[in-house]
Amino acid sequence: MTDVTKATEPIDLIRVSLSERVFVKLRGDRELRGVLHAYDGHMNMVLSDVEETIYVVDVHELTNESVVRTVRRNVEMLFVRGDGVVLVAPPSR
């Protein structure tokens, strides 16, 4: 029996992802990919080796056309406040 089959609550899927890379979608068109070190019931998390992707929508002043820019940055260690978390995806198995 694998750890995933022992999950009895949704948060158990996060528990089995400790020390593994996870995908976290945040409010405000932000995404994180990093190694999960800690979490709590409020979905506060500590991630390391994080790649943050921010999608910025710029509107051209003359044509009113929307242009989506992607901004990326790497962060060594990051605390994520749980109230901004929309989705957490464990690594593919």
Whether the pTM exceeds 0.85: the reply is: no
Mean pLDDT of the chain: 90
pLDDT number for residue 4: 55
Q: What is the pLDDT of residues 34-71, one digit of tens each?
A: 999 999 999 999 999 999 999 999 988 888 899 899 99
Element (H, E) at 13: helix 12-15
Predicted local confidence at residue 93, as pLDDT: 60
Per-position DSSP letters for 53-69, written without gaps between them: EEEEEEE-TTT--EEEE
Identify the residue whose tokens are 């949704």: 10
